[in-house]
Chains A and B, each alone.
Chain A
Amino acid sequence: MNRHRWQSWLTVIGVMLGVAMVVGVDLANNSARRAFSLSLQSIAGPTTHQIIGGPTGIPEQLFTKLRTELAIRSSLPMVTGPVIIRGESFSLLGVDPVSEASVGRHTAGLQYQGLGTAISSRDSMMLPERAATRLHLKPLDIFNLQIGDKNIPVRLAATFPSENPAATDGLIFADIAVAQRLLNRFGYLDRIDLILDDKTSASVRTWLPPGLSLVDSESRNDNLRQMSEAFHINLTAMSLLALLVATLLIYNTVTLSVLQRRNTLGIYRALGVTRKEVFFVVIRESLALATIASLAGLLLGLLLGQVLVELVTRTVNDLFFNLHVTAFIIDPFSLLKGFVVGLGMSLAACSLPAWEASRNQPISVMQRSVLERRWQRRLPKFTIGAIIMLAIGFVMLVPTHGTLVEGFVALTFIVLGFCLLVPVFLILATRSLLRLFSPWLNSTARIAIRDISAGISRTGMAVAALTVAVSVTVGVGVMVSSFRETVNLWLGQYLSADIYISTADRSGTGLTQSLIVQLQAIPGVSSVSPSRVTTIETQFGPIRTIATTPIKGTSSLPLKHSVNNALTLFDQGKGVMITEPLAYHQQLAPGDSINVVTNEGTKALSILGVYYDFTSSTGMIALHRNAYRQWWNDERISTLSIYRDADANQMEVLKAIKMVLKDEDKQIRVSSNREIREVAIAVFDRTFEITRVLRILAIVVAFVGVLSALMALQLERTREFAILRATGMTPKQIGLMIFGQTSLMGVLAGIMSIPLGLVMANILIDVINRRSFGWSMLYHMPTTVLVEALLLAIFAAALAGIYPALKASSISPAQALREE
C-alpha cells in the first residue's frame, strides 16, 4: 500500500467526500426536520386541539363565550405575525400570560413584575432569556420591531427562562392586547389552542359556528410535516448517489490492490495460507482505509452540514413553512449512520475482489491474465444482469402514482444496470475504434486502445464510476435547467398584469374599493383587478387560496386541463380551479369536488380546472372573488393587478400610482411585472442552491474518483511499461500512450454519461419531481450542461494521466525489470 500512496490518498478522499455528503445532508435534513417540529411544538405546547378560523381569523367574542358559556378553561388565545428584530426574523406571539401560566406554556416562566408590566402596558415585549442575551437586550430596553414596512419602538418588559430554549428561540411574546395593536388584528384571534378530552372535543366541535373548525394538533402538525418530506428524501437520494460513486471507487481500488499484490498473495497461498486468511488480509486492509476515510468523512460532514442546513432551512422556508428555529443539531445517529454506511459500502465493495483473491489457486493468483480471462467470460452474464436491472428499473417507473422511494429505487436499478453495461460498451467501443481508425493509428495508439479492453477488470469499473459521477451532473443539471425554464415561461403567462399593488397588512384594510376607483381614474390604466390571498380549511387541511377577479375574456391562470366552459363557470362562481400539485397529491381532476369550510358551513366546490402553478408545492385553490366574498363574507383585498393601455408608458403609470398611494398610510407595496419576475426567479435560484451545491460536490467526488482510479491503473503497470521501453518504445511514446489512453477513457465515460444523464434527468423530471411536488415541466436540455460533462470527464481523465505518464516515461527499464 505504501508503494501507492497517491492512490490510497485519493481513495480516502473519494470515500471521505462520499461519507461527508451523506452525513452532511443527513445532519442538515435532521436539523431542518427538528427545527420544523420545534417550530410547531413550541407554538402549540401541551395543547391537544386548535380552533382555526377562516380567512379573517376567529372573532374574539368566541373565546369569551368558550370560557364563560362552555367553561372550557384550558383554552389559550393567540394572535401571531412575523416581525423582524435587528435583522433577525421572529414570530410575534400575542398570548394571554395568565392562561399560558395556567398550563405552564410559553411565558409561564415570567415573574410577577414582568407579567404585570406585560399585561398593563401598551408596548411591552417578553423574550426568552436566550434570545434576549443573543439580541443584547435587557429588561426596560427600547428596541424596534419591524412589522411589514414599519418600525415600531417597543420595550422589553421582562425576560423569562424557557423550558426548551431551542424551541422558543425565534419567538417573541407580547400580551394579546399589545400584539393586536402592533399587528393591526383588532377583534380577531389567529388560533385558540385547547386541552380537550374526546368528549369535550366533540361538544366543542358541534358548538363551533360555521367557518371555524376544530383540528387535532397532532394530525395537523403531521400534515404540515409531510409537506417537506419529499424534499428531504430528494436530498438524501442525491447524497446516496455520491456514495454510490464512492463505492465504485473503493471497488476499483481494492481490485487494483489485489492485482498489484498478486505475487505476494500467490506466495502466501503457496506457503499454505488458507483462502479464508487471504480473504481477511484483503478485507482488513481495505477496512483500515475505509475507517480512516469514513472518520475523515464524518468531520467533513459536520462542516458541510453546517453550510447545508442554512440552505435546507431556507428552501423549507421558501417552499413550505416558516421556521423560526434555525439550529444546527448534531444528531449522533446521523454520524453513526454515515460511518456505518461508509464502512458497509466499503466492505461490500471490497469483498468481491477479496473473494476473487482467495478463490484462486496459488499459481493462478500470480497470473493477471487468469483474472482478465475470467472477466471476459463473465461479460455476457454482466450484460444479462444489466438488462434485468434496467428492465426492473423501468417497469418500476410505469405506475403514475408510485411512491417517491420507489422512484429512487428504480433510478438506482437503472444506474447500476448501466454500470454493468459499461465494460461491454468499453470493449465494443475500443474494438470499433480500432476497426474504424485502424489505417490512421500507429502501434502506440493501437496498444493504448487495445489495453483498455484487455485490462477490462480494472478499466471497466473505473470508467463506470466516472460515467455515473458525470451523469449525475448531467441529470441534475438538465432537471434544474428544465425547471427554471418552465418557471420562467409560466411566470410570463401567470403575471399577465403590468403593475401589482399589495399590502403586507393581513387585515388588508389598506386596499379599498375607493382606492380601486382612484387607480382606475389614472390615465393609461385600462383595468384594475382585485384579489385576495388567504388560507382556507379544506378536507385536506389548510390550503392557500387566491380569490381573483379575472378581466373578462382572459384567464390569468395557465390551465392544464379543465371542464367545458370552465372560464364561464369560474366567472359565475360555480366552482374553483386547483393547482397541479394539489391535483396530483390528492388525486383530483376537473369534475371532482373539494370540501371547504366556509362561513356558511362546509361546502363541496366543484373543480373546474387544474392550472400550472409553481408558487406552492402543496397546492393552491383559485376561485372567483365574488364567490369568495359571498361564502366567506370577506371584502378585504390583498393584491390589485393593474393592466395598462397598450400605448401607455409604464413609468408614467407607475409614477401616477405612487402619487395616489402617497396619501395612504399603510404598508402598501407597488411592484412592476418585471420586479416580481426577478424576485420569483431569485427565489427559485435560492431554492435550488442546495441542489447546485450537491451537484458541485458530486462533481468533486467524480473528479477525485477518476483521478484516483485512472492514476492507479497506470501506476500499476510500471513493469509493463518497462518491457515496452526495453522493446524499443521511447519515453515520449510511453508518456503519450498513457496520457492518450486515460484521455480516451475520459472521452468514452463522458460520452456514456450523456445518455445515462439524460435518462436520469427524465426520471428526475417526470417521476421524482412529480412524485415529490406534483409539478410537471417542460424538458429543456441546455448544451452547456452536456459540454460541461464531457469536459469534466476528459479534463479529469487527462489530469489523471499526467503523473503516470511522466513517471512511466522516466522509468529505467533495467531497474523496473530487475524485480522480476
Chain B
Amino acid sequence: MISLFSRLFLALCLMTLIGCQKTPATVASLDLGDILGGQETNGFERALKKRTFHFPQDHAAHETFRNEWWYLTGNVSGEAGQSFGYQVTFFRTAIAPALPVRTEIIEQRSNWAGNNIWMAHAAVTDINGKVHHHTQRFSRANPGLAGATIDPLKIWLEDWTLQSVSNEFPWQLRVNTKDFGLTLELKTLKNPVLQGDHGLSKKSALPGNASYYYSYTRMATTGNIQLNGEQIAVSGTSWFDREWSTSALDKNQSGWNWFSLQLDSGGDFMYYQLLDGRGHADVNSQGKWVDDKGGIITITPNDITLTVLKEWQSKDGKRYPIRWQIDYRAQNKSWIVEAVMDDQYMDLAVKYWEGAVAVFNTESQKLVGRGYLEMTRTR
C-alpha cells in the first residue's frame, strides 16, 4: 500500500498544502492518475528482488528510493478507564534522484541542498471523549530539520521525534501539537516481521511496483498523553510499520484497506486489500498472521473474506467502511472489526481514514482485541 500512498503524499500534500492557502480549486482539479502515471522512476532504485534486512541499519532512511515511511499506531488506556488510539507517521519522499556525484565534487554545496521533503502526521482518538485530534507537518530535510539516522536511532521532523539512546529498544516517541501531546516509550515484544515475500511486498503484477516492508507487530507501550491541559498516564500496545519503495501501483488501482489487529490471545493480524478501478479486491492483496510465539503465516486473498457491514461518508463524499466482518478461513477465525468512532478521518493535505478499531468475535460478540484500520480512496 505504501507506494501508492507515499507517491500521492508529496504530490498531493504539497499541492494541497499550497492550494489550500487560497485556491482550493487547485486541489479539486488534481488528477490522481496523472500524478501516478507522470512520475519518473529514472534515477531511483526500485524494489525488484529480495534483499537481506539488517537491523538497526534498515531503520534509517534509504534515500536511493523515492518514498519511505515510519508508521506507529496503537491503542492505549489510562488508569481511570480512558482509552485512546494514536497514530504518528513520518513520511519521506525524494522529489528528484540525488544529484550526480560529479557535480557535488566540483562545487561547494549548501547545507540546505537536498531532495527530500518530509511530512508527519499525528492523531489521537479520545474514545471516551469522542474526539479525533489530528494534525500534520511538512519540512525539507536539510539542514537537520528532518531525517532518519542510526547510531543512535533517531527519526524526526523538527521537534517530533522517535528515538533511542542507542539503537536498541526502548524507543521514545515525543510529539507535541497545539491540541495534544504524546510521550511514549515503546519496547517490542516480538521479532520484526518481514512482510510479503521475505520483505519484498509486491503491489501489482508489474516488476518494481513493490516495496520493502517490515513490521514490529506488538510493542509494549507506556507513557503519557497530554490532552486538554491534562497529563494522562497510559499503557497499551503499538504497531510499527516500515516501508520504502520507488514506484506506484498500477494506474487502475484506486485505494486500499489496511488492517492491523492485535488480539488478546497474543496473535497479530495484518492484511491489506488493494482495490482495483471498480473498487473490487485486487489479486495482489496480502497479509501475515503472527502467532503469540512469533510464528508467521502468509495470508492470500484466497484465505480470507472481507465483508462491509457499515459505511461512513466523509464530507468530500467518499465512502469508508467502518464496520467489517473478516473471515480468516485458513485459520478458522471470524471477527467483527468496528471503528471506535465513526469519524476518524485524517482531513489533512492527504485525506484518508485512519483510526482505532475494536475487534469482536463474530460468534460470541465479545471484545477479543484492538487494532488500527487505514483506508484510502483515490477516486
Contacts and interface: CB of A to CB of B under 8 A. Distances in A.
A121 interface: yes
A102 B99 CA distance: 26
Nearest to A104: B21
A264 interface: no
Given A67-B139, A102-B138, A120 B18 contact: no
Nearest to A94: B112
B138 A98 contact: yes
Contact of A119 (B11, B140, B143, B159): B140
Contact of B143 (A64, A70, A108, A178): A64
A153 B112 CA distance: 21
B111 A60 contact: yes
Contacts of B99: 122
A292 B42 CA distance: 73
B143 A101 contact: no
Interface string B79-112: 0000000000000001110010001000111111
A512 to B, nearest CB: 17
A101 B140 contact: no
Interface in A299-356: none
A104 B19 CA distance: 10
A73 interface: yes
A71 B112 contact: no
Interface stretch (B113-121, B270-278, B322-330): B113-121
Nearest to B137: A73
Contacts of A180: 110, 112
A186 B110 contact: yes
A181 interface: yes
Interface in A89-134: 96, 98-99, 101-102, 104, 108-112, 115-117, 119-122
B54 interface: no
Contacts, number: 98
B36 interface: no
B281 interface: no
A68 B146 CA distance: 9
B22 A163 contact: yes
Nearest to B17: A101
A67 B110 contact: no
A69 interface: yes
A402 interface: no
Contacts of B305: none
A122 B144 contact: no
Nearest to A69: B159
Contact of B108 (A109, A175, A178, A186): A186
B176 interface: yes
A769 B94 CA distance: 59
Interface string B1-22: 0000000001100110110011
Given A61-B143, A101-B14, A120 B115 contact: yes
Contacts of B117: 98, 119
B233 interface: no
Nearest to B119: A98
A60 B18 contact: no
Interface in B16-31: 17-18, 21-22, 26
Interface residues of A, number: 37
A171 interface: no
Interface string A165-196: 00000000001111011000011000000000
Contact of B158 (A60, A68, A96): A68
B269 interface: no
B158 A71 contact: yes
B194 interface: no
Contacts of B94: 120
Contacts of B11: 112
Most chain A beta-carbon contacts within 10 A, residue among B15, B17, B18, B140: B18
Contact of A176 (B17, B112, B144): B112
Interface string A755-767: 0000000000000
Nearest to A107: B18
B22 to A, nearest CB: 7
The binding surface of chain A is classed by DSSP as: helix
A648 to B, nearest CB: 39
Interface string B109-149: 11111110100000000000000000001111011110000
Contacts of B14: 98, 101, 112, 115-116
A112 B18 CA distance: 8
B136 to A, nearest CB: 10
Contact of A101 (B21, B26, B145, B176): B21
Given A120-B115, A163-B22, A73 B95 contact: no
A96 B112 contact: yes
Nearest to B15: A112
A98 B115 CA distance: 12
B18 to A, nearest CB: 5
B18 A115 contact: yes
Contact of A71 (B21, B109, B142, B176): B176
A363 B15 CA distance: 87
A121 B99 CA distance: 8
B156 interface: yes
B95 A98 contact: no
Contact of B159 (A67, A99, A104, A111): A67
A98 B143 CA distance: 13
B145 A64 contact: yes
A120 B95 contact: yes
A67 B112 contact: no
Given A60-B111, A101-B17, A180-B110, A68 B22 contact: no
Most chain A beta-carbon contacts within 10 A, residue among B11, B96, B111: B111
Contact of B113 (A68, A69, A122): A122
B126 to A, nearest CB: 23
A98 B139 CA distance: 6
A154 to B, nearest CB: 14
B57 to A, nearest CB: 23
Contacts of A111: 15, 18, 26
A108 B158 contact: no
A181 B139 contact: no
A681 B15 CA distance: 53
A96 B14 CA distance: 13
A115 B138 CA distance: 14
A122 B138 contact: no
A642 to B, nearest CB: 30
A590 to B, nearest CB: 45
A109 B159 CA distance: 27
B112 A60 contact: yes
A121 B96 contact: yes
B17 A102 contact: yes
Contacts of A61: 143-144
A181 B107 contact: yes
A119 B158 contact: no
Contacts of A67: 139, 145, 158-159
A389 to B, nearest CB: 58
B111 A68 contact: no
Contacts of B140: 96, 98, 119
Given A112-B15, A163-B22, A181 B110 contact: yes
A60 B111 CA distance: 9
Contacts of A178: 110
Given A119-B117, A177-B111, 20 more contacts: A60-B111, A73-B137, A73-B158, A98-B140, A101-B14, A101-B17, A101-B21, A101-B138, A108-B18, A109-B18, A112-B15, A116-B95, A121-B96, A122-B99, A163-B22, A177-B112, A177-B114, A178-B110, A180-B110, A186-B110
6 contacts: A61-B144, A101-B17, A104-B22, A108-B22, A112-B18, A177-B114
Closest 4 CB pairs of A and B: A120-B96, A177-B113, A177-B110, A177-B112
Interface of A: 60-61, 63-64, 67-71, 73, 96, 98-99, 101-102, 104, 108-112, 115-117, 119-122, 163, 175-178, 180-181, 186-187
Interface of B: 10-11, 14-15, 17-18, 21-22, 26, 94-96, 99, 103, 107-115, 117, 137-140, 142-145, 156, 158-159, 176
